[in-house]
Homo-oligomer: A and B are copies of this chain.
Amino acid sequence: MADAEGHPTLAEMDLGRVLAALADPLRRRIVVLLAAEPEGGERPCGSFGLPVTKATRTHHFKVLREAGLIHQTDRGNSRTNRLRRAELEQRFPGLIALIEQEGLPVEA
């Protein structure tokens, strides 16, 4: 079962939901930037250069988290994000590589 913060287990990850999450260019930007981090690397929500309001930004991170693409951790007054890369590779082999290969989407 998903935990209290809405992180799904591997078995709960749904391909349709993951694809819908990745269909958005700003969300792909977050994933591409997290994929460029060293294994387990975290970045705070404010570090992705997203040209949107804070509420919209929070929404995009929620979509990614609930699809299973990212793991979020509260760090006092900020929230950090890491890509669930190993789990994603196990559940959907090649998907993150495909997203990375396209590079950073042009900003909306």
Contacts and interface: CB of A to CB of B under 8 A. Distances in A.
Interface of A: 15-17, 19-20, 22-25, 28, 92-95, 97-99, 101-102, 105
Copies held by the complex: 2
Contacts of A22: 19
20 contacts: A15-B28, A15-B98, A15-B99, A15-B102, A15-B105, A16-B23, A16-B25, A16-B28, A19-B20, A19-B22, A20-B23, A23-B23, A93-B94, A93-B98, A93-B101, A94-B94, A94-B95, A94-B98, A95-B98, A98-B98
Contacts of A24: 16
A104 to B, nearest CB: 12
